[in-house]
Amino acid sequence: MKRAIPLLFLALAAFGQTGKQPKPPANSGDPESKSQQDATGFVRDLRGERAQLPSGRSFGMASGSFLGRDAAGKTVRFSAWIKTENVRDGYAGLWWSVMGPGDPNNRPTLAFDNSQVRSIDGRPDAHNGTIRGATGTTPWTLYELELPVGKTASYIYFGALLTGTGTAWVDAMKIELDGVPYTPPQADLDFESPTVKGFIVGCGGSAICTGYKYKVGIDNTVSYSGHQSLKMQYVETEK
């Protein structure tokens, strides 16, 4: 499997813990590419070369992307309904990253929020360090984040993540740019497609999930609206 796919997940963890900018994957323009699904429709861990991060953690996630020109100079409001069961030692939440111009491997991060780490213009925001995701067992609840998108934005990355243990369901994602609804090309924000459409899904973090296992995929038995939702589930540590 190509290394480019898990690099975004690795980079997200690195930025969240160290403040360093994530490096976009080489195939970021193809958000549906090359996921590995098992017979149940869930996606198995996306493996890659070992890459240890100081105090790193693994997490399950879904990652979408689109060109920054669609949002440049605007304020984004990103929201979704999240339901959790026994989420411990972490949280289920949303994340959004705004990348600036330049070389794909060296673009500045203009704004970032993963429902805990939050920065704007490269500096920690007032809400940085506060968990703003779902923990424990909770009913369907609306979560949202709002960020400025700089005029020089080149790429946007966004999605949902589960850190720690337990299970989380995500449904009815909504993106608004200056109050106007926006749907990224190819993305199914309601998760009603047979498989997760418009997102790379799998595992990320320290050592790219070596020793851990998350399943991320469509669940057709639980939903907030429609008939399906995105399910992120931690599975026992591999022996």
- Asked if residue 133 lies in contact with residue 45, where contact means CB atoms within 8 angstroms, the answer is no
Which is more confident, 87 or 19?
87
φ and ψ of 209, to 5 deg? 75, 15
Phi/psi class of residue 27: alpha, beta or left (left: φ > 0; alpha: ψ in -120 to 50)? alpha
Query: Which residue in 219, 230, 217, 96 sits closest to 170, CA to CA?
Result: 230
**pLDDT band at 58; cut points 50, 70, 90:** confident
Task: Give the pLDDT mean for 198-206.
Answer: 79
Residue 212: its pLDDT value, please?
Answer: 58
* Position 26 pLDDT exceeds 60: no
The per-residue pLDDT for 105 is: 78
Tell me which of 140 and 107 has the higher pLDDT: 140
pTM of the predicted model over 0.85: no
What's the domain count of the chain? 1
* pLDDT higher than threshold 80 for residue 133: yes
82 HSE (CA, 13 A, CB side): 27
Rounded Cα distance between 154 and 66, Å, is: 9
Query: CA 179, CA 11: separation in Å to the nearest integer?
Result: 30
Which residues span the domain enclosing 75?
A: 4-235
Q: How far apart are CA 195 and CA 44, in angstroms?
A: 13
Question: 164: pLDDT confidence band, cut at 50, 70 and 90?
Answer: confident
- The predicted model gives 63-86 an average pLDDT of 96
